[in-house]
């Protein structure tokens, strides 16, 4: 779905307005779950909100202000399973963190260190909103629900 060619449906438009309102008037520790059938525009809403609330001129780099960070928990592996370590490594790649610069391998970096680096980066970039798109895939991590 491409936002330039998007035909707005009443429910989509209402969901977008409500989400935008939550972004304009955030509450501490608010978690929003956006659900719906496949293809109804959930990911498109997150892309629109990311673009609308991004810092002017943001190049999505760890040393810059980045009030909205949108990552995807979608599996990148062919077997349909991925690890929480994969999620944090991909999140660090999204913000161009030095820990994963130039395609550096994270094979020997503990998962807890990747998570901490991402959390610290979000704080340093003054991130207000973390959007995890395709979050239902987190339930498919290696080790099952306990690891998720």
Q: Kindly report the pTM of this predicted structure.
A: 0.72
Q: Bigger pLDDT: 3 or 119?
A: 119
**Percent of the chain at pLDDT exceeding 70:** 74
The pLDDT, as a whole number, for residue 121 is: 92
What does the pLDDT look like over 11-33, one tens digit per residue? 778 888 888 787 777 777 777 77
What does the pLDDT look like over 58-102, one tens digit per residue? 666 666 778 888 888 776 665 556 678 888 888 898 888 988 888
When pLDDT is cut at 50, 70 and 90, the band that residue 120 belongs to is very high
Give the pLDDT mean for 125-133.
85
- Is the pLDDT assigned to residue 114 strictly greater than 90? yes
Residue/partner pairs of 40-46 with CB below 8 Å, 24 or more apart? 40/11, 40/12, 41/1, 41/6, 41/9, 41/12, 41/15, 42/133, 43/1, 43/133, 43/134, 44/1, 44/3, 44/6, 44/12, 45/12, 45/15, 45/16, 45/19, 46/70, 46/131, 46/133
């Amino acid at each position: 779905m491409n936002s330039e060619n998007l035909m707005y449906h009443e429910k989509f438009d209402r969901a977008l307005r409500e989400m935008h309102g939550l972004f304009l008037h955030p509450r501490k520790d608010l978690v929003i779950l956006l659900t719906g059938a496949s293809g109804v525009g959930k990911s498109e809403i997150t892309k629109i909100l990311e673009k609308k609330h991004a810092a002017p001129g943001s190049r999505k780099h760890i040393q810059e202000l980045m009030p909205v960070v949108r990552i995807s928990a979608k599996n990148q592996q062919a077997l349909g399973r991925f690890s929480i370590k994969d999620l944090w490594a991909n999140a660090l790649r999204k913000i161009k963190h030095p820990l994963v610069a130039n395609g550096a391998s994270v094979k020997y970096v503990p998962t807890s260190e990747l998570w901490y680096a991402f959390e610290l980066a979000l704080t340093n970039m003054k991130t207000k909103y973390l959007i995890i798109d395709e979050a239902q895939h987190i339930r498919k991590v290696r080790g099952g629900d306990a690891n998720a």
